[in-house]
């Protein structure tokens, strides 16, 4: 079903994107070409069809008109033979028949019209009527009908083959693009997601890919077929009869011009409409999501007033765009009808002057339709191509993003089992953008089993340390050594294997608890899972869920954020690695669940070199090293007592919580 052209999008580089798209089509390219050939052939057959139909029509119309000239000839013969029986073209005409015939003929008067004459002739004796009656060339009829039937059949079959191929190409290509994007998500440097919203990538995966996948299967072949039809019908019209061809083209041109103007105007309103819809959407989203604030602050009237304003504007564009696009169809119909009449009238003149056969008119009746339909479809296909290009541009833009550095040359390896757990920071320099260094010169040495607390006010850049340790970002200068090996010489995979990472946002995916706990690990038995859950103190809770370990998370609101945090801790335990990165923040968790979480965290830290984004005093106080961060930089480092003595930033921060 044709979708209303709601959005007219312009691509920045139409040609470039199209070429890229074609090359990206990969092995489906060949299928596309085959489909295009079939579409072309099918269209060619469509243009030949009417011409062959004209042949059939001619055979039929030749078989209608009685041979009046022969009638006069017979009359002469009768007079010549003086009502004696004679043979005419092998038919014996008896005296009786001749008399009957003359009686009927004598009643014909010059003022009689054609129909009355033919009515009289129907009463002629068998022998004579068989002579004058029009005879249809049944052999020609059969052969021409069969030919036409074959053309029609092939036309449909080619069309169907083309449709199936393109369906396959479009869908497979969309599938490939989707999985390309999905793979890309995990290969792109993390900083991409700092500056891009998840929704942006999401809309590329769904909307943009759909736009490409669905439209590519209709548009490309439709474009080829319709251009072929358009040009083909012009050629065929001229081949059939040039006067008629000119008539058909001239009588449509005015209509085309008119509808082109209409299209232009309506496009303007469609764009406006899209904009208004967008702002209405935005307003509704804002008011609905801020519903409780709107209500508590009596903002309803104000909100409604603004809504009505946008709604009225939308109404106006809606009406215009709907109307203008709605009358395109009837105007095209009218053009068809008008052309029809013109063809008939001009055709009639030509028939009467014996310049053409009636079949030509029939052929042109169809050509007029073949000729007028493609233009609007070509216009439609062109706009769709534009939106394909725009969507393609967005998809490729994402796919062409720089990927994480290649690690093929890395040979060093640290095994999880044999790693000791020492880390050394040597003059580390880092900044999220090249020109702004936030960690200026950081040096520290961490022994196996140490506990390092990272503290600082909100937004101080505590997660930066996580990003560097996990090699999510690469340091600009200096080095971080794990058991004496530079992280530059270790693959990301390897480093990740050495670390357990538990972050503040308790990320779980939509699946069972079991799947979430095991995650990427393999061969973890339920027994082991239960052991870990018991250790973390979440076994009881899991048992209360319907299905136990098989219970789903994600859509399940009965799991509180504290429990989710416990689950992520358990997941970390399943992973079991010598280093730990832990964000202690439990801001969404109440204090009593927090206690449970803390106990679990404490257990996790045992025997591991731990980096803890600290939020509680106990952690900070007994940490082996405290890193105090502010505005991205590490401004103080030392133990709790050392830092308090310093009476610096840390001391101030620590004491502030007791201010009344």
Footprint (CB under 8 A) of other proteins, residues 283-312: 284-304, 307-308, 311-312
Among 33, 79, 134, 254, binds other proteins (CB under 8 A): 134
- Using CB under 8 A as the binding rule, the residues of this chain from 369 to 398 that contact other proteins are none
Comparing CB distances to other proteins, the nearer of 181 and 428 is 181
Give the count of residues interacting with other proteins (CB under 8 A): 165
Determine the Cα–Cα distance for residues 552 and 462; give it in Å rounded to an integer.
Answer: 32
- Using CB under 8 A as the binding rule, the residues of this chain from 2 to 61 that contact other proteins are 4, 46, 49, 53, 56-57, 59-61
Determine the Cα–Cα distance for residues 175 and 168; give it in Å rounded to an integer.
Answer: 10
Among 41, 43, 166, 600, binds other proteins (CB under 8 A): 166
Comparing CB distances to other proteins, the nearer of 4 and 547 is 4
State the burial class of residue 1 (Cβ atoms within 10 Å of its Cβ: 0-12, 13-18, 19+): exposed
* 83 binding other proteins? (CB under 8 A): no
Determine the Cα–Cα distance for residues 342 and 357; give it in Å rounded to an integer.
Answer: 16
Two tokens at 520? 């990427």
Among 23, 523, 544, 587, binds other proteins (CB under 8 A): 587
10 touches 386 (CB < 8 A) = yes
Region of residue 459 (phi > 0: left; psi between -120 and 50: alpha; otherwise: beta): left
Residue with the two structure tokens 């052969």: 143
* 152 binding other proteins? (CB under 8 A): yes
Comparing CB distances to other proteins, the nearer of 10 and 592 is 592
Among 160, 254, 420, 531, binds other proteins (CB under 8 A): 160
* 602 binding other proteins? (CB under 8 A): no
Question: Terminal CA-to-CA distance of the chain, rounded, Å?
Answer: 69
Among 84, 96, 107, 206, binds other proteins (CB under 8 A): 206
User: Considering only CA atoms, which of 629, 626, 640 is closest in space to residue 446?
Assistant: 626
Determine the Cα–Cα distance for residues 157 and 116; give it in Å rounded to an integer.
Answer: 48
* 402 binding other proteins? (CB under 8 A): no
At closest approach, how far in Å is the CB of 446 from other proteins? 19
* Piece of the chain touching other proteins by CB under 8 A; list 144-152, 384-392, 538-546, 632-640: 144-152
At closest approach, how far in Å is the CB of 514 from other proteins? 14
- Using CB under 8 A as the binding rule, the residues of this chain from 480 to 499 that contact other proteins are 492-493, 496-497, 499
At closest approach, how far in Å is the CB of 600 from other proteins? 14
At closest approach, how far in Å is the CB of 381 from other proteins? 14
Residue 264, H or E segment: helix 242-289
At closest approach, how far in Å is the CB of 195 from other proteins? 12
Comparing CB distances to other proteins, the nearer of 11 and 580 is 580
166 touches 220 (CB < 8 A) = yes
At closest approach, how far in Å is the CB of 105 from other proteins? 14
Among 76, 126, 183, 645, binds other proteins (CB under 8 A): 183
Among 171, 399, 485, 551, binds other proteins (CB under 8 A): 171
Comparing CB distances to other proteins, the nearer of 11 and 276 is 276
Determine the Cα–Cα distance for residues 627 and 479; give it in Å rounded to an integer.
Answer: 18
User: What is residue 214's three-state secondary structure?
Assistant: helix
At closest approach, how far in Å is the CB of 2 from other proteins? 10
> How many other CB atoms are there within 10 angstroms of residue 359's CB atom?
23
Number of residues written out for the chain: 660
Alpha helices in 82-137 (DSSP H): 95-106, 114-121, 126-132
At closest approach, how far in Å is the CB of 309 from other proteins? 11
At closest approach, how far in Å is the CB of 189 from other proteins? 10
**In the chain, what are the helix, strand and coil shares in percent, each to the nearest 5?**
65, 10, 25
- Using CB under 8 A as the binding rule, the residues of this chain from 610 to 629 that contact other proteins are 616-618
At closest approach, how far in Å is the CB of 543 from other proteins? 19
User: Considering only CA atoms, which of 632, 138, 660 is closest in space to residue 429?
Assistant: 632
At closest approach, how far in Å is the CB of 262 from other proteins? 11
At closest approach, how far in Å is the CB of 618 from other proteins? 8
Among 15, 305, 434, 660, binds other proteins (CB under 8 A): 660
Determine the Cα–Cα distance for residues 500 and 490; give it in Å rounded to an integer.
Answer: 17
**Beta bridge partner(s), residue 429:** 477
Two tokens at 362? 């029939």
Residue with the two structure tokens 């390897």: 494
At closest approach, how far in Å is the CB of 84 from other proteins? 27
Determine the Cα–Cα distance for residues 37 and 41; give it in Å rounded to an integer.
Answer: 6
Determine the Cα–Cα distance for residues 156 and 137; give it in Å rounded to an integer.
Answer: 28
Comparing CB distances to other proteins, the nearer of 12 and 183 is 183
User: What is residue 501's three-state secondary structure?
Assistant: strand
SS (H, E, C) 397-460: HHHCCCCCCCCCCCCCCCCCCCCCCCEEEEEEEECCECCECCEEEEEEEECCCCEEEEECCCCC
- Using CB under 8 A as the binding rule, the residues of this chain from 545 to 564 that contact other proteins are 560-562
Two tokens at 168? 């396959």
* 66 binding other proteins? (CB under 8 A): yes
Two tokens at 96? 């009786």
- Using CB under 8 A as the binding rule, the residues of this chain from 458 to 477 that contact other proteins are 458-459, 466, 470, 472
- Using CB under 8 A as the binding rule, the residues of this chain from 227 to 266 that contact other proteins are none
At closest approach, how far in Å is the CB of 427 from other proteins? 26
- Using CB under 8 A as the binding rule, the residues of this chain from 503 to 522 that contact other proteins are 503, 505, 507, 509-510, 519-520
Among 103, 107, 149, 547, binds other proteins (CB under 8 A): 149
* Piece of the chain touching other proteins by CB under 8 A; list 81-89, 230-238, 346-354, 540-548: 346-354
Going residue by residue from 426 to 455, which x/- string records binding to other proteins, judged by CB under 8 A? Answer: ------------------------------
Strands 633-638 and 625-630: antiparallel
């Amino acid at each position: 079903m044709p979708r209303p052209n709601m959005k007219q999008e312009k691509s920045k580089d139409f040609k470039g994107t199209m070429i890229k798209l074609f090359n990206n089509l990969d092995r489906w390219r060949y299928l596309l070409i085959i489909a295009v050939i079939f579409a072309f052939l099918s269209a060619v057959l469509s243009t030949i069809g009417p011409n062959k139909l004209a042949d059939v029509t001619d055979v039929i119309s030749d078989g209608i008109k009685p041979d009046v000239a022969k009638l006069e000839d017979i009359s002469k013969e009768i007079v010549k033979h003086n009502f004696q029986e004679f043979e005419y073209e092998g038919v014996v005409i008896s005296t009786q028949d001749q008399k009957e015939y003359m009686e009927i003929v004598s009643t014909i008067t010059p003022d009689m019209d054609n129909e009355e004459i033919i009515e009289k002739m129907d009463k002629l004796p068998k022998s004579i009527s068989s002579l004058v009656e029009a005879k249809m060339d049944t052999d020609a009829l059969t052969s021409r009908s069969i030919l036409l039937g074959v053309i029609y059949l092939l036309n449909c079959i080619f069309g169907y083959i083309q449709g199936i191929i393109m369906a396959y190409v479009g869908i497979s290509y969309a599938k490939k693009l989707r999985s390309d994007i999905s793979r890309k998500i995990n290969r792109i440097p993390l900083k991409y997601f700092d500056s891009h919203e998840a929704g942006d990538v999401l809309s590329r995966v769904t909307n943009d890919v759909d736009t490409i996948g669905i439209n590519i299967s209709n548009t490309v072949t439709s474009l080829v077929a319709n251009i072929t039809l358009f040009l083909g019908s012009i050629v065929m019209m001229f081949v059939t009869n040039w006067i008629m061809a000119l008539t058909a083209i001239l009588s449509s041109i005015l209509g085309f011009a008119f509808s082109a103007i209409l299209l232009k105007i309506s496009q303007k309103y469609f764009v406006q409409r899209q904009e208004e819809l967008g702002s209405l959407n935005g307003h509704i989203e804002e008011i609905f999501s801020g519903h409780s604030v709107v209500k508590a602050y009596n903002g309803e009237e104000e909100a409604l007033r603004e809504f009505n304003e946008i709604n009225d504007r939308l109404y106006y564009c809606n009406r215009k765009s709907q109307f203008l696009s709605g009358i395109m169809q009837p105007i095209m119909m009218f053009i068809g009808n008008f052309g029809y009449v013109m063809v008939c009238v001009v055709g009639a003149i030509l028939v009467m002057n014996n310049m053409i056969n009636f079949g030509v008119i029939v052929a042109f009746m169809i050509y007029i339709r073949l000729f007028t339909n493609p233009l609007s479809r070509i216009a439609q296909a062109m706009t769709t191509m534009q939106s394909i290009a725009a969507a393609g541009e967005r998809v490729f833009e994402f796919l062409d993003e720089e990927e994480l550095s290649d690690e093929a040359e890395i040979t060093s390896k640290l095994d999880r089992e044999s790693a000791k757990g020492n880390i050394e920071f040597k003059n580390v320099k880092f900044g999220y953008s090249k020109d702004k260094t936030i960690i200026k010169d950081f040096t520290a040495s961490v022994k196996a089993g140490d506990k390092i607390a990272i503290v600082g006010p909100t937004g101080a850049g505590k997660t930066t340390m996580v990003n560097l340790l996990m090699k999510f970002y690469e340091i600009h200068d200096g080095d971080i050594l794990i058991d004496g090996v530079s992280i530059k010489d270790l693959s990301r995979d390897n480093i990740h294997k050495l670390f357990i990472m538990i972050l503040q946002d308790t990320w779980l995916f939509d699946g069972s608890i079991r799947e979430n706990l095991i995650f990427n690990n393999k061969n973890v038995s339920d027994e082991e899972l239960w052991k870990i859950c018991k250790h973390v103190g979440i076994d009881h809770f899991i048992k209360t869920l319907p299905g136990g370990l098989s219970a789903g998370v994600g859509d399940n609101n009965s799991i509180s954020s504290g429990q989710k945090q416990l689950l992520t801790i358990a997941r970390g335990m399943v992973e079991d690695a010598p280093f730990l990165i832990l964000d202690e923040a439990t801001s969404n968790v109440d204090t009593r669940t927090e206690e449970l979480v803390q106990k679990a965290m404490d257990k996790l830290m045992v025997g591991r070199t731990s980096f803890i984004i600290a939020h509680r005093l106990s952690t900070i106080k007994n940490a082996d090293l405290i890193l105090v961060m502010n505005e991205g930089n590490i401004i103080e480092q030392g133990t709790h007592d050392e830092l308090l003595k310093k009476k610096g930033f840390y001391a101030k921060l620590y004491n502030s919580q007791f201010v009344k």
